[in-house]
Amino acid sequence: MTVTLSDVAARARVSPATVSRVLNGNYPVAAATRERVLRAVDELDYVLNGPASSLAAATSDLVGILVNDIADPFFGIMAGAAQTEIGGQEGAVAPESGRQGSAATGTAGGTAGTASATGGTAGSMAGTVGAASPVGAGRAAGRAGSEKLAVVCNTGGSPERELTYLTLLQRQRAAAVVLTGGALEDPGHIEAMTTKLAKLADAGTRVVLCGRPPLPGSDAAVAALAFDNRGGARRLTEHLLALGHRRIGYVAGPAERTTTRHRLEGHREALAAAGVPEARDAQGRPLTVHGPYTRDAGYTATLELLSRAPELTAVVAANDTVALGACAAVRERGLRIPADVSVAGFDDLPFSVDAVPALTTVRLPLHEAGARAGRLAMGTEAPPPGGVATIGAELKARESTAAPRHA
């Protein structure tokens, strides 16, 4: 039923070894032989058995990209960029159009790309990609199999799933693993992760952190691309302070995430530097509310903040999505943005510039970071000195923030 390597070998009148070598392109095979093999592959419509080859070679071409929430463009953009960098973009898409996140959707243009598929059984792509091209002449020395299968795994923010996926990837002997976004700060989980990642690295899996701070024990081997969340947050709050705000509410993310903590710390740094005390309500409770990174959390928290302290002149949100909810809450209270209350976000997701008023936020080069992580995972790019690189965060002051009325 299933066509195997030896079937191809038989048909091409060569040994299985030769077929394998043609497919992997890492051993000299005479041109004539190769053509014969390739033709047989095509005719039999042969597809390599991945597990078998991974087993024999003790490596696989799987690269896992872990994200906390696949429905959130924050992760989607990084994952997409990384995946593009990893999965060999045959189409050779143009670099980038301009807006971050404008992945290659659509691909409107024409029918061009599919042309080759018209006839029969379009491209078997058996072993090496491109191997199935018309058996014609001028094909260069069949590229080595740098073809990787980049897949993204959605942890949903659950530490168990994070670990489970890592184990599953370890089982598959993944070539690399990219962890995106903030990490959970629970000591137990950190230890478990450190152990697991060390084990993966030991086994030869390249581990890359993208938008996540390096591990405590800095196991080297694990390259980290960290966002300057603290610095960005500081500049954002400085901006607000410069506008004259003194009573600023803060809708933070989940309490145990590094991202949440760093942004909050940056915020507080700015306040401290300016000698402005953290805003508190009548009961003396700080005007900081934690919640998940969702629009609804922003909405709810802002409503609460506004009730507890009607005199608030600005609300800083954990990220743009949360900010959207905050805006909705502010409006529902009959207040105008930014006339009555300024609102700021973080990340500068694509929709932020289109919000009304356009959202003041902190831009994180998600696409760039993801691409770089992808290259690190491929081993295409040298890891940063010390294994850690910090990626800048740039303040984007737009219309959702302005001087408070009674400034």
Partner DNA sequence: AGAGCCGTAGCAAGCGCTTTCTACGGGGTA
Partner DNA sequence: TACCCCGTAGAAAGCGCTTGCTACGGCTCT
Site for DNA in 34-63 (CB under 7 A): 46, 48-49, 52-53, 55-58
Question: What residues between 181 and 210 interact with a second copy by CB under 8 A?
Answer: 184, 186-189, 191-192, 195, 199, 203
Told to check if 130 binds DNA by CB under 7 A, we report no
Return the number of the residue (15 or 164) whose C-beta is nearest DNA. 15
Told to check if 97 binds DNA by CB under 7 A, we report no
Strands 394-396 and 361-363: antiparallel
Told to check if 203 binds DNA by CB under 7 A, we report no
Told to check if 188 binds DNA by CB under 7 A, we report no
Look at the alpha carbons of 41, 42, 45, 48 in this order and tell me if their dihedral is positive or negative: positive
Told to check if 23 binds DNA by CB under 7 A, we report yes
Near a second copy by CB under 8 A, which window of 9-17, 32-40, 168-176, 211-219? 168-176
Question: What residues between 282 and 321 interact with DNA by CB under 7 A?
Answer: none
Residues 235-254: x where in contact with a second copy by CB under 8 A, - otherwise, as a string:
------------------xx
Return the number of the residue (179 or 388) whose C-beta is nearest a second copy. 179
Rg (CA), the chain: 26
Q: What are phi and psi of 223, to 5 degrees?
A: -80, 140
Strands 149-154 and 62-67: parallel
- Residues in Cβ contact with 186 at an 8 Å cutoff, skipping those fewer than 6 apart: 159, 256
DSSP for 154-209, written as a single string? E-TT-HHHHHHHHHHHHHTT-SEEEEES--B--HHHHHHHHHHHHHHHHTT-EEEE
DSSP for 311-372, written as a single string? T--EEEESSHHHHHHHHHHHHHTT--TTTT-EEE-SB--GGGGGSSSPPBEEE--HHHHHHH
Told to check if 33 binds DNA by CB under 7 A, we report yes
From the CB of 215, what's the least distance to DNA, in Å?
A: 27
Look at the alpha carbons of 203, 206, 212, 213 in this order and tell me if their dihedral is positive or negative: positive
Near DNA by CB under 7 A, which window of 11-19, 116-124, 134-142, 252-260? 11-19
Given a contact cutoff of 8 angstroms between Cβ atoms, the answer to whether 65 and 79 are in contact is yes
Given a contact cutoff of 8 angstroms between Cβ atoms, the answer to whether 339 and 46 are in contact is no
Return the number of the residue (224 or 318) whose C-beta is nearest a second copy. 318
From the CB of 289, what's the least distance to a second copy, in Å?
A: 11
Return the number of the residue (5 or 241) whose C-beta is nearest a second copy. 5
Q: Which of 6, 89, 133, 146 binds a second copy (CB under 8 A)?
A: 89
Near DNA by CB under 7 A, which window of 13-21, 270-278, 316-324, 358-366? 13-21
Q: What does the alpha-carbon distance between residue 262 and residue 150 come to, in Å, rounded to a whole number? A: 30
Q: Which of 13, 15, 26, 123 binds a second copy (CB under 8 A)?
A: 123
**Which of DNA, a second copy, none interacts with 380 (beta carbon under 5 to 8 A by kind)?**
none
Q: What does the DSSP 8-state code read for residue 286?
A: B
Told to check if 332 binds a second copy by CB under 8 A, we report no
Tell me the residue type at 86. I
Scan for tokens 């919640």, then name that residue.
291
Return the number of the residue (30 or 108) whose C-beta is nearest DNA. 30
Question: What residues between 41 and 80 interact with a second copy by CB under 8 A?
Answer: 45, 47-55, 60-61, 64, 68-73, 76-77, 79-80
Binding residues for DNA, per CB under 7 A? Answer: 2, 4-6, 13-18, 20-21, 23-24, 26-30, 32-33, 46, 48-49, 52-53, 55-58
